[in-house]
Structure 1
Amino acid sequence: MLATALRRLMFPARFSSPPAIVEAEMLVRARISASSGDPKETEKNRIKLITASLVEAGASSVEVAWPNGSNVVHSTGLDRAKEFVDIACTSGDLHVTSSHVKRLVAAALESKSNVRFDFEKAMFVYSMGLAFDVSARYSGGDAVPSEKLLPVTDDDVLDAYRVFADTHLPNTVILELNSTCNFKCGYCPFHGDDQTDPRYLGKAKATEMSLENFEKIVKQIAAWPRKYSEHVVTIAPFSRGEFFLSHDWKRALEIIHEAGLRSYVCSNASILSTEILDTVMKDGLLDHLTISLDATTKEENYRTRRNTKFNKIIANIEHASQLRKNGSPTFLQLNCTITETNKDSIDEYTRGWIDKVDIMLIGPTHVLNRATKHVTYDYQYSTSGPDHGVESHEVPCSFLFQTLEIYSNGNISLCAACGSERIPIGNAFDEEDIFAVRSRSKLFNNVRNVFISGQGNNGHPYCANCLMYKGHFARTEKRDGAHYRFDHSSWIVQNTK
């Protein structure tokens, strides 16, 4: 009873008494499925936003379905018609717009069918973090309607993207603790052999963030008001260096944990040991550990990564795998970058590790286009590039909103896809509210407006020719008991056994 009363207070019906029934030819009724009988403020805010889109699309009534009941949050009083189109969505479909609804309704009436968007052929929608999985059910006549799949258009994506841009806070913050590395991987622009790359750091330019500044920034992030999402922000305390080279790595993870945020680290595993792995994995001090390994043999490893610690790295991965099997809550991932050195052993690599980790990411390296000064994917050694039957989609850039990158010297990058601090929009050490830096930055807002207006990356000189945001999406398939999902130019591989 109390829950019902609270729902009525939060979502009062538009009319206090039943209005007169009016005949109509066709009506649109909408139903939003909520996830909780005791909703958080974030879910209530999402429902209000979705309701506004449904009303704008002409819905005669909007009902919210709770696990233990339902209530009407909008009604025009029209409830009789020869034809109905019932719209269904969930409280998670934050980015649904009136345009989406109108398109579904029109398609349902024209075809006398049930209609939903075909996201199987538009996988990039999920990768971008867009949520508008709304469907329409036709009711009219005696025939049972069939189902029709509606292709997702560029306009559908852009409509959802505009809502995304207005409502989304970063779900990942790259907060670089240190930029030092003990490897010289041939493809690495920061520490590799290619020292003519303007992003090259070397030991002379490497920096480390103080714990005082690190904790100050983490606390700011934890205090961000998240109006529409219960998503816990992930802090990745690494970017251009090896995280475990920092003497403060353990305290940094504790600071993240104490703030109630998630932690994610990618390591080359050469500094790791059974003691370190036990510390970060046994009790979940680290939420997500990725180990980067590009070889199946010691010789291949040396050619690719210029180090002789192959056996130690393998032993560390094996120990981490055993900890995971023994109940560690730390998600374990393995990354492999495809190069000339290892391109012929990728299948062997996958078969050898698929049973020992939660997930694998296998894809091409990033390279700097010296003519345009932008980062691109190097497809020449990848079996998943655009020359291999992969469909390419130019979509609005999600990097701008999904990820915020702060370097160890405090510089806040315009975009995490830039791969360097060459385009800073502020310095986190000088700010009481690092997120406000974006709203004040003319450069950030200019780039943002370019994408929400539909101009694409060619609409701004800093984004011209950048392919990092461009999604190449092909398919999902099963091979040898593993599930392969192609996403953003890489294969994401999981065991299906």
Structure 2
Amino acid sequence: MKKMSEHLNEITRPSESVFSARPPLPEKLSLELNNTCNLNCEFCPFHSPHLPEHYKMKLSHMDPEMAKDILKRASELGIGRKELGLFATGEILLYEGFGEIIGYAKELGTFPYIYLTTNGVLADRDKIEEAVSAGVDSIRFSINAGNREDYLKLHGKDRFDTVIENLKNTSGYLKSLGRNINLSVSCVVTKRTEAEKDNIRSLLSEYVDDIVFMNVGFLEDISSEVKKEYAVTGDEAEKVIGDEYICGYIFNTMFIDSNGIVRLCCSSGKALVPMADLNKDPDLERAWYDPVFCGFRERLLTGRTKGTVCEKC
């Protein structure tokens, strides 16, 4: 089973053959079942307690039948033929019956790699067993601090010990099964934690297959105070991609939110640009080739990102 870092690299740096205003139907599908969360991370562009009112989302859970209909239509078109991610802006373990959705997707037979992302607070044995029994291929824990004090400050709730215990138990359970299910950790690096990466590796590496660190972004969407407190500075903030880089997300991945809206991407509140409403027209192929969507891809290909969310991503 590929590591999380390999899958992320395939999304952000895809084959040049997809770089077109009208690329092939996407091989990756991100389906958000809910946008609710049980943490209030300071730096989160969706659930931070410091978010301006106009960035706050209407909380929702997708109807299970709608989720199944989307998956069936995607399966028939080959959308998600490489991977299906059940994540975006919320905590999936808050969604009642998430295992049923995973199981349905597996039964369709066209989603070879299904993964979910969780903050780990609710990831007890019952929840993990539900995911595994349904056929999940990869589980990612999002842990953004290496100690209890920083965790409380960053996440808004004192759940560090619970999350670490759940991760360890999940690791032991997966190993006992002897099955090829990937377990990984993603960590958003902030000014408060940029010196902790080695400690986080030391704490978690024996339990997981992969740890990926990503610098925090889009803090200006929340507030200047949050940006001042958490933005990564110095060497950690140096640009690591060249000016020629083009993000692959809108060329090879379809993101559908919990309201049934096809979005540009899920990097920030500003990126939740509606491209198509599947409640009005459930045709995924039409959504992918929507004129607004194609026009945005053309802007990226020609470097005309000024004034868009992509400009400072």
Tell me, yes or no, whether TM beats 0.5: yes
Q: 409, 430, 433: which is aligned to 2:259? A: 409
Q: Deviations over 1:422-454 (max 9, x none)?
A: 421211123242121232x221122223344xx
User: Are residue 340 (structure 1) and residue 186 (structure 2) matched?
Assistant: no
Q: Deviations over 1:222-270 (max 9, x none)?
A: 11157xxxx8342222211110011121212112211221321110111
Structure 1 residues 421 and 216, CA gap change in structure 2 (3 angstroms): farther
- Kindly, what percent of the aligned residue pairs are identical? 21
User: Are residue 214 (structure 1) and residue 67 (structure 2) matched?
Assistant: yes
Q: Deviations over 1:347-376 (max 9, x none)?
A: 1111222222111111211224459xxxx9
Structure 1 residues 162 and 320, CA gap change in structure 2 (3 angstroms): closer
Q: Is residue 12–residue 247 contact of structure 2 (8 Å, CA) maintained in 1?
A: no
Structure 1 residues 402 and 161, CA gap change in structure 2 (3 angstroms): same
Name 1:462's counterpart in structure 2.
Answer: 308
Name 1:249's counterpart in structure 2.
Answer: 98
User: Are residue 289 (structure 1) and residue 134 (structure 2) matched?
Assistant: no
Name 1:396's counterpart in structure 2.
Answer: 246
Q: Is residue 189–residue 232 contact of structure 2 (8 Å, CA) maintained in 1?
A: no
Structure 1 residues 353 and 217, CA gap change in structure 2 (3 angstroms): same
Report the Cα distance in structure 2 between the residues aligned to 1:251 and 1:391, rounded to whole angstroms: 39
Report the Cα distance in structure 2 between the residues aligned to 1:427 and 1:259, rounded to whole angstroms: 24
User: Are residue 180 (structure 1) and residue 65 (structure 2) matched?
Assistant: no
Structure 1 runs of 4+ aligned residues shifted over 6 Å read none
More strand by share: 1
Name 1:134's counterpart in structure 2.
Answer: none
Q: Deviations over 1:67-100 (max 9, x none)?
A: xxxxxxxxxxxxxxxxxxxxxxxxxxxxxxxxxx
Q: 298, 308, 311: which is aligned to 1:449? A: 298
Provide the TM-score with structure 2 as the length reference: 0.83
Q: Is residue 295–residue 342 contact of structure 1 (8 Å, CA) maintained in 2?
A: yes
1:306-345 matches, cutoff 5 A: 306-326=156-176, 327-345=178-196
Q: Is residue 411–residue 426 contact of structure 1 (8 Å, CA) maintained in 2?
A: yes
Q: 5, 14, 17: which is aligned to 1:129? A: 14
| Larger of the two Rg values belongs to structure | 1
**CA RMSD in angstroms, aligned pairs only:** 2.8
**SS of the residue 1:396 aligns to:** coil
Structure 1 residues 356 and 457, CA gap change in structure 2 (3 angstroms): farther
Structure 1 residues 314 and 165, CA gap change in structure 2 (3 angstroms): same
Report the Cα distance in structure 1 between the residues aligned to 2:60 and 2:10, rounded to whole angstroms: 37
Q: 232, 239, 261: which is aligned to 1:380? A: 232
* 2:308 partner letter: Y
Report the Cα distance in structure 1 between the residues aligned to 2:263 and 2:213, rounded to whole angstroms: 26
User: Are residue 271 (structure 1) and residue 122 (structure 2) matched?
Assistant: yes
Q: Deviations over 1:189-243 (max 9, x none)?
A: 2211212163223xxx2111101100000001111157xxxx8342222211110
* 2:202 partner letter: R
Name 2:155's counterpart in structure 1.
Answer: 305
| Ranges in structure 1 where 5+ consecutive residues have no aligned partner | 1-123, 131-159, 469-497
Provide the TM-score with structure 1 as the length reference: 0.54
1:42-441 matches, cutoff 5 A: 127-130=12-15, 160-161=16-17, 168-196=24-52, 198-201=54-57, 205-225=58-78, 232-260=81-109, 261=111, 262-281=113-132, 283=133, 285-326=135-176, 327-370=178-221, 380-381=232-233, 383-386=235-238, 390=240, 392-417=242-267, 419=269, 422-439=272-289, 441=290
Report the Cα distance in structure 1 between the residues aligned to 2:307 and 2:191, rounded to whole angstroms: 32
Structure 1 residues 177 and 271, CA gap change in structure 2 (3 angstroms): same
- Once the two structures are TM-superposed, the CA of residue 467 in structure 1 deviates from its matched residue by 3.4
Figure out how many residues of one structure are paired with residues of the other and give that number. Answer: 296
| Ranges in structure 2 where 5+ consecutive residues have no aligned partner | 1-8
Q: Is residue 177–residue 408 contact of structure 1 (8 Å, CA) maintained in 2?
A: yes
Name 1:484's counterpart in structure 2.
Answer: none
**SS of the residue 1:236 aligns to:** strand
* 2:311 partner letter: C
